[in-house]
Amino acid sequence: MVTKKQTVLSGTQPTGALHIGNYLGSLKKFVEIQNQYQCYFFLATYHSITGDYNPQEKKQQIFDLALDYLATGLNPEKCVIFNQADVPECTELAWIFNTITPLSELERMTQFKDKAAKQTKNINAGLLNYPILQAADILLYHPDFVPVGQDQLQHLELTNNIVRWFNNKFGQYFKPVKPILTKMPKVMSLAEPDKKMSKSAGPKHYIAINDEPEIIKEKLAKAVTGTGQENHLPPGGLNLLILLEEFGTKEETTYFQKQLKNKNIKYSELKQTLAQAISQYFADFREKRKKLAQKPQDIEKILKNGADQARPIAQKTLKEVKKLVGV
Ligand code: ADP
Ligand code: TRP
């Protein structure tokens, strides 16, 4: 008997450089599971325009994210890679979901509250409706699993509520989805280690996966840690140690854990070791990315191909939904 592969879907916003938080929280998982499942990985362009941005830069950001996807190892022969804006069925499904989602559910979303507090002059309706578009992105493809970082779990809960509201009103159709979390679902900021690492906070908060070794060294040198003599491990120190576990060797980790136990951890030494480990880890990635960047037509072709594969599935779902909804 031929068993159908289970389906995975996830997206990332093209809003600038991908950082090691994005990588450890989601992208690394995408690369691992592409062999195992039928995967759809897209660029969440329509989500990205709910933030403040410069329209002249968007095309480059889309190109950059596609490069990051490919250079970290996503293989267009194995998974479907596309730009959300090339499969606009998601916006039509989002409209239908808008009509069954209570306003109060959107207003209580943590990401909405955080972003509204940051971009006070641009609290647009798209920012509020963002998780509905995300639910539409997901449910168009009926996936089993959605790999994301911890900050997106609330949106997946809302997606599953939308499944319930839809099925109650229009008849059983969508199935709930399950998140896949990595071992590192929340990497902390270098400059403010009690907050998650995020692109929007500014470059001193994150290490981009495409940063050159010199930059990585400089950013880590300025990372907030502690004195090394504290009785407890400060969050910044903990963050760096956890990162070393991910990027360094076992010996390096054991060495610094021993220092920590003896309350004489030398953060300057830890930062240098970690800088080297991260630079080394992404060395092949940087090379591959440079090569790919020289052939923009190839990237365009991959995105077009991906959209051509995704669109018929999206169209089929939308047709079935419209019938159920009676329009
Ligand atoms: P950002 O929050 O930096 O703008 P995105 O919203 O585009 O990044 O997130 C892309 C993916 O990376 C999502 O799955 C998100 O949950 C994950 N992610 C973002 N920041 C982190 C982090 N600091 N640690 C782990 N995963 C993260
Ligand atoms: N909101 C996600 C983020 O900021 C990006 C995203 C949009 C997404 N649509 C999605 C993630 C669908 C998973 C599934 O990271």
Q: Is residue 62 part of a domain?
A: yes
Give distance in angstroms: CA of 25 to centre of ligand 1: 7
Say yes or no: 151 and 219 in one domain. no
How does residue 2 score in pLDDT terms, banded at 50, 70 and 90? low
Is 27:182 a contact under the CB 8 Å cutoff? Answer: no
DSSP single-letter state for residue 151 = G
- Selecting among 58, 199, 204, 288, the annotated active-site residue is 199
Domain containing 88 — which CATH number?
A: 3.40.50.620
Say yes or no: 118 and 230 in one domain. no
Give the pLDDT score at 99.
98
Say yes or no: 222 and 105 in one domain. no
Domain that holds residue 221: 211-281
Q: Which amino acid would we find at residue 111?
A: Q
Say yes or no: 232 and 161 in one domain. no
Percent over 70 (pLDDT), the chain:
99
Q: Which residue has the tokens 């030398």?
A: 266
Angle between helices 283-293 and 55-71 (to 10 degrees): 130
Report which protein residue has its CA nearest ligand 2's atom 9.
Answer: 134
The mean pLDDT value for 259-271 works out to 91
Give the pLDDT score at 48.
97
Length of the chain: 327
Pocket mutation for ligand 1, best pick of 22, 189, 196 (most atoms within 8 Å of C-beta): 22
117-129 tens-digit pLDDT: 999 999 999 999 9
Nearest partner of 270 among 230, 227, 215, 232, judged by Cα:
227
Structure tokens at 179: 């998140």
Domain containing 261 — which CATH number?
A: 1.10.240.10
Give the pLDDT score at 199.
85
- Selecting among 28, 115, 219, 271, the annotated active-site residue is 115
Q: Is residue 202 part of a domain?
A: no
CA angle 160-165-169, nearest 5°? 145
Q: Is residue 1 part of a domain?
A: no
Residue 1 confidence (pLDDT) above 70: no
Pocket mutation for ligand 1, best pick of 145, 151, 197 (most atoms within 8 Å of C-beta): 151
Composition of the chain by helix, strand, coil, percent to 5:
60, 10, 30
Greatest CA span in the chain, whole angstroms?
69
| Catalytic status, residue 196 | yes
Give distance in angstroms: CA of 72 to centre of ligand 2: 18
Residue 264 confidence (pLDDT) above 90: no
Q: Which amino acid would we find at residue 236?
A: G
Q: Is residue 147 part of a domain?
A: yes
Q: What is the DSSP string of 88-141?
A: THHHHHHHHHHTTS-HHHHHT-HHHHHHHHH-TT---HHHHHHHHHHHHHHHTT
Average pLDDT, the chain: 96
Give distance in angstroms: CA of 265 to centre of ligand 2: 38
Is 39:126 a contact under the CB 8 Å cutoff? Answer: no
Dihedral of the alpha carbons of 164, 167, 173, 177, in degrees to the nearest 10: 0
Q: Is residue 257 part of a domain?
A: yes
Work out which ligand 2 atom sits closest to the CA atom of 147: 13
What is the radius of gyration, based on Cα positions, of the chain? 21
| Catalytic status, residue 175 | no
Report which protein residue has its CA nearest ligand 2's atom 14.
Answer: 10
DSSP 3-state assignment of 64? helix
DSSP 3-state assignment of 249? coil
Domain count, the chain: 2
Does the pTM surpass 0.75? The reply is yes
Strand bridging mode 38-43 / 145-147: unpaired
Kindly tell me the number of DSSP H helices and DSSP E strands found in the chain: 15, 5
Structure tokens at 143: 């996936």
Cβ–ligand 1 distance for 239 under 6 Å, the answer no
Give the pLDDT score at 228.
67
Give the pLDDT score at 233.
84
Give the pLDDT score at 25.
94
Cβ–ligand 1 distance for 21 under 6 Å, the answer yes
Say yes or no: 106 and 152 in one domain. yes
Which residues' Cβ are closer than 6 Å to ligand 2? 9-13, 44, 47, 134, 137-138, 146, 148, 152
Cβ–ligand 1 distance for 48 under 6 Å, the answer no
Nearest partner of 176 among 159, 200, 188, 192, judged by Cα:
159
Say yes or no: 268 and 140 in one domain. no
Say yes or no: 80 and 110 in one domain. yes
| Catalytic status, residue 199 | yes
Give distance in angstroms: CA of 62 to centre of ligand 2: 15
Give distance in angstroms: CA of 111 to centre of ligand 2: 12
How does residue 231 score in pLDDT terms, banded at 50, 70 and 90? confident
Q: Where are the beta strands (DSSP E) in 101-151?
A: 145-147
Give distance in angstroms: CA of 210 to centre of ligand 2: 21
The mean pLDDT value for 48-53 works out to 96
Work out which ligand 1 atom sits closest to the CA atom of 48: 7
Is 4:191 a contact under the CB 8 Å cutoff? Answer: no
Give the pLDDT score at 37.
97
Say yes or no: 56 and 117 in one domain. yes
Q: Which helix (H) or strand (E) holds 288?
A: helix 283-293
- List Cα–Cα distances, 255 to 225, 231, 246, 251, in angstroms: 18, 19, 15, 6
Say yes or no: 41 and 171 in one domain. yes
Q: Is residue 199 part of a domain?
A: no
Q: Which amino acid would we find at residue 256?
A: F
Q: Is residue 287 part of a domain?
A: no
Give the pLDDT score at 122.
97
Say yes or no: 120 and 47 in one domain. yes
198-215 tens-digit pLDDT: 988 889 999 999 999 999
d(C-alpha 82, C-alpha 62), whole Å: 10
Say yes or no: 61 and 96 in one domain. yes
Say yes or no: 38 and 13 in one domain. yes
Report which protein residue has its CA nearest ligand 1's atom 2.
Answer: 198
